[in-house]
Amino acid sequence: MNGLGFSRRPVVLARLGIGKTKHDEDEAKGLLPPRVSIGGHSVAWVNHELDAVLAALAVGARPTEVKDLVSQLVEARARLAGMSADQIRSLAASLVARVLGEEVSASQLRKKQEAVAVRSPSRRSSSARVRS
């Protein structure tokens, strides 16, 4: 898991293993978390939200389940102020569990996301990654 922080578009596309057009379409359909403004004209995506979506995809979530998860993640943004990194990871795991109807711990969520990352090798060099 990338944990707390933000990722810019090249990193997000590499993590998802999709192109810009597919990403924009899925974001518009509510299948991926929406971007957030990080100042000026810059946007990024919240890492723990991407982690949760990747974990849901790794366990075979249906599009309607992923859409519900994304909706819950966006609603949870308001509750994140003042939470620790571990609390946010636990929240992401509980949202995945609620959507899929199964118990998923933060460590299981991390393992499932890592499994997806192994199957989807990065198309970009490590120098293109944004550090958070």
Is 20 domain-assigned?
Answer: yes
Is 65 domain-assigned?
Answer: yes
Cα 62 to chain centroid, rounded: 16
- Bin 104: left if φ > 0, else alpha if -120 < ψ < 50, else beta: beta
Domain count, the chain: 1
Rounded to whole angstroms, what are the CA distances from 123 to 16, 56, 97, 99?
10, 22, 30, 30
Say if residue 55's pLDDT is above 70: yes
Say if residue 3's pLDDT is above 90: no
Q: Is the model more confident about 131 or about 105?
A: 105
Whole-prediction pTM value?
Answer: 0.64
Is 128 domain-assigned?
Answer: no
**Sheet hosting strand 42-46, strand order edge to edge:** 6-7, 42-46, 36-39
Q: Which domain covers residue 58, as residue numbers? A: 6-121
* pLDDT at residue number 117: 52
Say if residue 14's pLDDT is above 70: yes
Q: What is the DSSP letter of 44?
A: E
Q: Is the model more confident about 49 or about 121?
A: 49
Is 15 domain-assigned?
Answer: yes
Say if residue 107's pLDDT is above 80: no
Is 131 domain-assigned?
Answer: no
Give the amino acid at 59.
V
DSSP run (H or E) holding 127: none
Is 80 domain-assigned?
Answer: yes
Is 1 domain-assigned?
Answer: no
Is 86 domain-assigned?
Answer: yes
Per the prediction, the chain carries an average pLDDT of 80
